[in-house]
Structure 1
Amino acid sequence: MNIKILITGAAGFIGSNLSEYFVEKGCDVVGLDNLATGNLNNIAHLISCPNFEFIDGDIRNIETCHKAVAGRTYVLHQAALGSVPRSINDPIITNEVNISGFLNMLVACKDAGVKKMVYAASSSTYGDSKALPKVEEVIGKPLSPYAITKYVNELYADVFYKSYGLNSIGLRYFNVFGRRQDPNGTYAAVIPLFTKQLMNKQSPLINGDGTYSRDFTYIDNVIQANEKAMLSENPEAVNTIFNVACGERTDLNTLIDLLKQSLSKHDKAILDIETTYGPLRVGDVPHSLASIDKAKKILDYQPQFNLKEGLEEAVEWYWSHL
């Protein structure tokens, strides 16, 4: 597959997995990251590859965006400041990166004449909508600054298609997890955080009573969705949003039980660790479950890993890397 791709956020969790996948497929890959939340260790094994170039740069700088996009056919835009709590603590920086940075990337893609930009949207866009499963065309009001920024991305992408003919596809990720997802820091996602705590014989902390549920999505499903979106020639896919998920929801109590079962293969004592419960977090959506019918129909998206299968893979990676 000899195609030229720019991957933003290339040293982050999802971006590094995409970079690795497409480099191994023989694509000409440029990775852009300012290393604010990404880690060079995630792509250290790619630096010496002749078909990979890394640019240490920030999407908030339009010249950097133009440089990174030059000569690229496709852009997989993953760069963003994630985390609902982070956006509540610092809405200004979240807005700068996720909206201004996104706008810079749209302008750079338009000016360079890229064939298509596939970008990371978010399930947080569904906001206070109580309908389950979540269907792309029905959203509620956003519940956090982060959710607002990701929704604005979708609006901007739509305007750039209608105004300038820039082809784009937004992928609304639902709680992605897997290898290289950072378990450290204030804003660590629950699966790597719980895994690290259990491995260290610490009691995992659940915000609330553990009945909140999520559609947890293994990283390899996300890679598949990006590839299918990027290469799709289906006219129905252009300027469209797709849910990327498993189409199953799991509450946090069950999630911890599954993690304990996977980790107990290495250390049976982990089964006896008790869970701690704390107050709910501001901005958290109670339940999240995706309809993936649209992605299946238009992109031929077929998730290969359910939660349990993905957890088995993720736990093995963390056990050998933490």
Structure 2
Amino acid sequence: MRVLVTGGAGFIGHHLVSHLLDSGKEVSVLDDLSTGYMARLEPMIKDIRFVEGSVLDLETVTDLMTDVDVVLHEAAIPSVARSVDDPLGSHRANTDGTINVMLAAKANGVRRVVLAGSSSVYGPNASLPSTETDRTDPRSPYAVSKLSAEQYLHSLGHLHGVETVTLRYFNVFGPAQDPNSDYAAVIPKFVTTVLREEEPMVNGSLDISRDFTHITNVVHANMLALETEGVSGETLNIGCGASNSLGDLIKAIGRSLHKDISPRIGPSRPGDVMHSLANIGAAHRLLGYEPITPFDLGVASTVAWFGEMGAVTEGVIGTRVGGTAA
């Protein structure tokens, strides 16, 4: 099977590339390196076809999809906070980029496109756990762009005979996640802050909770979505089906490092929701998905990776190369 991974130098993307190669797939990667790191791909570079380019360049995307069977579309600007600062940039990368991917898939007769969706589309859902049939209520430009991407994906797929699957990720974390950006996800930022002997800052409240999902679970879900029959047009939650608060997270990091951690409490961030939790019943029923790495084990392995790599300063994960939105 020939697979294209857009955003393949990103956190999730490069883990997918590695697993695809291990499973014997032929892999192409498209990434403009605006938020990804080439260093993540260097150990695999001889085994993949890599093109530095953007999903916003339709010609490049179309050319790269020649002889591709399935696309794992991970390219995005995956940040609520950044989307508040730059809603147009978020829309272009996440929505317009998805339209281009679907047009290129149509032009090349690609069999299936699997989209990296987001749990943010649910918004402040009063009914938890969130199920795929719940009303969506996106509260940030990022969430709006991801919901729009889902709708374009399924609409264009239906119109042009391309199979589509959306995987709505819930707060993915794990080794090699970037802790250095102003928009970094909470787990790598907390871990590296503590490793520097500093106090982590919690935005809003220690009671904020998330369905934190280790990267191995997301890779597992994508591998199932790659080949499982009878799932075209589906949107599926990918999480652990378990809720942990930021207070729980701080304690888990502390246990892994044998430290008592006292975080600072800062202001809430615009666009954030208080709680999220996935109902993963549909993914289990249709894909056979079950989480393989629980929260505590995932946090421990992530803390160990950052500790071993010394990834507490800029540039350890890799040198960021300038560019436009992936």
TM-score, normalised by the number of residues in structure 1: 0.95
Corresponding residue SS for 2:43: coil
Q: Once the 2 structures are TM-superposed, how far is the Cα of residue 162 of structure 1 from its aligned partner?
A: 2.4
Aligned to 1:208: 204
Deviations 1:205-233 (A, max 9, x none): 00112101000000000001001011101
Aligned to 2:177: 181
In structure 1, stretches of 5+ residues that fail to align are 265-270
Aligned ranges for residues 1-322 of structure 1 at < 5 Å? Answer: 3-49=1-47, 52-233=48-229, 235=230, 237-264=231-258, 271-321=259-309, 322=311
On the 8 A contact 1:6/1:75 being kept in 2, the answer is: yes
Which whole-Å CA distance do the structure 2 matches of 1:98 and 1:290 have between them? 22
Corresponding residue SS for 1:129: coil
Which whole-Å CA distance do the structure 1 matches of 2:166 and 2:100 have between them? 16
Which whole-Å CA distance do the structure 2 matches of 1:312 and 1:137 have between them? 34
- Aligned-partner residue type, residue 290 of structure 1: A
Which whole-Å CA distance do the structure 2 matches of 1:53 and 1:160 have between them? 27
Deviations 1:151-204 (A, max 9, x none): 001111121132112110000000000011001110000000000001011100
Corresponding residue SS for 2:46: coil
Corresponding residue SS for 1:46: helix
Q: Once the 2 structures are TM-superposed, how far is the Cα of residue 139 of structure 1 from its aligned partner?
A: 2.6
On the 8 A contact 2:115/2:150 being kept in 1, the answer is: no
Q: Tell me which stretches of 4 or more aligned residues in structure 1 moved more than 2 Å.
A: none
Deviations 1:264-284 (A, max 9, x none): 2xxxxxx23321001111110
Q: Once the 2 structures are TM-superposed, how far is the Cα of residue 128 of structure 1 from its aligned partner?
A: 2.9
| Identity across the alignment (%) | 39
On the 8 A contact 1:125/1:139 being kept in 2, the answer is: no
Aligned to 1:267: none
- Aligned-partner residue type, residue 177 of structure 2: Q
On the 8 A contact 2:157/2:163 being kept in 1, the answer is: yes
Deviations 1:17-60 (A, max 9, x none): 000111122211001100000000111100122xx111100000
Q: Once the 2 structures are TM-superposed, how far is the Cα of residue 110 of structure 1 from its aligned partner?
A: 1.0
Which whole-Å CA distance do the structure 1 matches of 2:137 and 2:278 have between them? 17
Q: Greater relative contact order (Cα 8 A, min sep 6): structure 1 or 2?
A: 2
Aligned to 2:321: none
TM-score, normalised by the number of residues in structure 2: 0.94
- Aligned-partner residue type, residue 123 of structure 1: S
Q: CA RMSD in A?
A: 0.9
Q: Once the 2 structures are TM-superposed, how far is the Cα of residue 103 of structure 1 from its aligned partner?
A: 0.4
Which whole-Å CA distance do the structure 2 matches of 1:287 and 1:138 have between them? 15
On the 8 A contact 2:191/2:253 being kept in 1, the answer is: yes
Equivalent residues, number? 310
